[in-house]
Amino acid sequence: MLNVSAKKVSDAKAKSQTLVLFAHKSGATSTIPGLNKTELGKVHEITGKELEFDDLKKGLFLRGHNLNGYTNLALIAVSPSKDDSFSEGFRKLGALVLQLGLANKQESMAIDLESLCKGQKKLDEVCQALTEGLCLADYRYDEFITKDKKKNSVRPENIVLVHSTKMNSKTITEGIRSGSILAECVNFSRGLGDAPGNIITPVALANETVKAARGTGLKVTVWDKARIKKEKMGGLFGVNLGGGPDCRFIIMEYNGAGKSKKPVAFVGKGLTFDSGGISIKPSQGMEEMKYDMCGGANVIGTLLAIAKLKLKVNVIGLVPSTENMPGPMANKPGDILVARNGKSVEVFNTDAEGRLILMDALSYASEKKPRVIFDAATLTGAVVVALGNSYTGVFTRDKKLMKDIQDAADKSGEWVWPMPINDHHVADMKGTHADLCNISSFKGAGSSTAAAFLEQFVDKDIPWAHFDIAGTAWHIGGRVNYSPKKGASGVMIRTFVELAKKFG
Ligand code: BES
Ligand code: ZN
Ligand code: ZN
């Protein structure tokens, strides 16, 4: 993992290969606070022309000129997009620095905070977001890429945030700590998502969670198939009948506050491979269904981050995990399953399996009487049609909760969009020979009817919101530079951590 630290200017000089300075637009001209007139003149000599602000938007790397005592110099324009929140601009700058380091094979870089902040007051937020951007952009899943290729790539290992004595070093270090922990947990979760189905089975997902939780204060309990049956989790057990490895139910608990404080509950869909079952999916694009456990992986990442940040909150994380396969014992269309809370469900389409495993997990969450329940799931293709791969669809009838979610997402630099859920959607999910059916009796609004189905397993007096991350859990790299172009994004972990702070 990339090491980010802080140093005063006097201690840092020339210990890194590259100095990174930032340019700001002031009126028609641009200024680079870290360079005096003579130095700026030198830069102009090197580039052979006056520096245009726009030339620096993607970053300019000047090699081997020993300016300011560093071998190399990188210049970057600060020009946040209007669509981005305050912190998001700095997150993207962090990613840009890392990408310049990667492209130019730099092992150590020093970022001049003074030139970045230019009088900016929210130093903690700046340092946290910058660190997140640096570490998130450093993510790669190359476990199976043969060694030689890996060895040849020199990459940034140490990044120092250089600051003046006027800047509060404790604030800076705190920002770096929070940013590093969050990014580390997002990257861990991305790794689980990118790992193929033959590596991350339900058993492996549970084992990885137990391993990662060691020493963090997070308690992990894992229920095996026999226990799941005994606990009347008819949905999780039923989906697992299709074959493949045994199912697991992962329970994570973290107590950072007093015993009397109600916990915040997070529930995530951990479907390690979704073939569709008997209602089998078309083969084209089926490989993407290894990502069907991203809701679960992101809940695991959230709980790890909360524990490592030592937040003063109580939280529980629940991940039902199985494959959805079409073996001889698999659910057949028309089969009836009974959930933990006693409600019965007709399975008309075995590919609508996410809701079947979540119904048991949400019932279990309700029994714990939490302060609030949030769930994340790659639940419907319909949300991808509605919102594409930029916004996560959020479903809740609680307007105040929606506002809190929106605020938390804005703060985290993540995009959420409120989606409808009402009694009509509930009515559409009524069964004929069971209480409910797992697909709607009408066409359209597939994400809303799925959410309405889930709602039937949450206690009426517990605030609840469902996050459909089918469009945002992977493949969002074209939109943010700190996420891989192809691969798991770790979406909503940062928002969930903010929500835990708010409700804890
Ligand atoms: N895992 C899928 C949803 C999905 C689709 C995630 C595309 C990511 C990208 C889910 O289990 C599923 O197959 N849902 C069905 C529901 C339908 C049968 C009511 C869908 O969306 O087609
Ligand atoms: Zn499915
Ligand atoms: Zn699925």
Name the packing angle between helices 169-194 and 294-308 (round to 10°): 150
Spatial contact of 304 and 389, defined as CB atoms under 8 Å apart: no
**Radius of gyration of the chain, Cα coordinates, nearest whole angstrom:** 24
Q: Which of 15-29, 273-287, 413-427 has the lowest mean pLDDT?
A: 15-29
292 lines ligand 1 (CB under 6 A): yes
Picking from 467, 499, 493, 298, the residue whose alpha carbon sits closest to that of residue 395 is 467
Beta-bridge partner residues of 62: 73
Q: How far is the CA of 118 from the centre of ligand 2 (A)?
A: 50
Statement: residue 148 has pLDDT above 70: no
Helix (H) or strand (E) holding 298: helix 294-308
380 lines ligand 1 (CB under 6 A): yes
Going across the sheet that includes 335-338, the strands are: 335-338, 344-347, 436-437
Q: Which ligand 1 atom sits nearest the alpha carbon of residue 351? A: 13
DSSP letter assigned to residue 35: -
Q: What angle do CA 482, 80, 113 make, to 5 degrees?
A: 80
Statement: residue 12 has pLDDT above 70: no
Residue for token digits 């226990």?
A: 227
* pLDDT score at 433: 98
Q: How far is the CA of 377 from the centre of ligand 3 (A)?
A: 8
Picking from 202, 207, 249, 204, the residue whose alpha carbon sits closest to that of residue 364 is 249
274 lines ligand 1 (CB under 6 A): yes
* pLDDT score at 151: 61
Sequence-ordered list of residues with C-beta below 8 angstroms from that of 90, at least 6 positions apart, any chain: 116, 125, 126, 129, 130, 133
Q: Which ligand 1 atom sits nearest the alpha carbon of residue 281? A: 13
Ligand closest in space to the Cα of 269: 3
Q: List, for residues 155-169, the tens digit of each pLDDT value.
A: 999 999 999 989 999
User: Which tokens is 387 given?
Assistant: 């919102």
- Please give the C-alpha separations between residue 132 and each of 4, 189, 412, 472, 504, in angstroms, as whole numbers: 10, 15, 10, 18, 23
Q: Which ligand 1 atom sits nearest the alpha carbon of residue 279? A: 18
Sequence-ordered list of residues with C-beta below 8 angstroms from that of 401, at least 6 positions apart, any chain: 372, 463, 465
Q: How far apart are CA 286 and CA 333, in angstroms?
A: 21
Spatial contact of 349 and 337, defined as CB atoms under 8 Å apart: no
Q: How far is the CA of 470 from the centre of ligand 1 (A)?
A: 8
Ligand closest in space to the Cα of 471: 1
Conformation bin of residue 338: beta by default, left when phi > 0, alpha when psi is -120 to 50: beta
Sequence-ordered list of residues with C-beta below 8 angstroms from that of 118, at least 6 positions apart, any chain: 22, 24, 33, 78
Q: What phi, psi does 82 have (nearest 5°)?
A: -65, -25
Q: Which ligand 1 atom sits nearest the alpha carbon of residue 379? A: 3
381 lines ligand 1 (CB under 6 A): yes
Q: How far is the CA of 499 from the centre of ligand 2 (A)?
A: 28
Picking from 497, 453, 469, the residue whose alpha carbon sits closest to that of residue 268 is 469
Catalytically active residues, by annotation: 281, 355
Q: How far apart are CA 432 and CA 455, in angstroms?
A: 19
Ligand closest in space to the Cα of 291: 1
Q: List, for residues 294-326, the tens digit of each pLDDT value.
A: 999 999 999 999 999 999 999 999 999 999 999
Conformation bin of residue 14: beta by default, left when phi > 0, alpha when psi is -120 to 50: left
Ligand closest in space to the Cα of 469: 1
Q: How many CB atoms lie within 10 A of CB 473?
A: 30
354 lines ligand 1 (CB under 6 A): yes
Share of the chain above pLDDT 90, in %: 85
* pLDDT score at 55: 87
3-state helix, strand, coil in the chain (%, to 5): 40, 20, 40
256 lines ligand 1 (CB under 6 A): no
* pLDDT score at 124: 94
Q: Which of 82-91, 185-194, 390-399 has the lowest mean pLDDT?
A: 82-91
Q: Which ligand 1 atom sits nearest the alpha carbon of residue 292? A: 1
Helix (H) or strand (E) holding 376: strand 372-377
Residue for token digits 């014992």?
A: 329
Picking from 167, 324, 135, the residue whose alpha carbon sits closest to that of residue 240 is 324
493 lines ligand 1 (CB under 6 A): no
Q: How far is the CA of 218 from the centre of ligand 3 (A)?
A: 28
Nearest CA to ligand 1 atom 16: 352
Spatial contact of 321 and 205, defined as CB atoms under 8 Å apart: yes
353 lines ligand 1 (CB under 6 A): yes
The reported pTM is 0.97
Q: Which of 70-79, 116-125, 224-233, 246-255 has the lowest mean pLDDT?
A: 116-125
- Please give the C-alpha separations between residue 78 and each of 58, 116, 335, in angstroms, as whole numbers: 10, 8, 58
Query: Ligand 1, from 236, 291, 351: best to mutate by most atoms within 8 Å of Cβ?
Result: 351
Q: How far apart are CA 99 and CA 17, in angstroms?
A: 15
270 lines ligand 1 (CB under 6 A): no
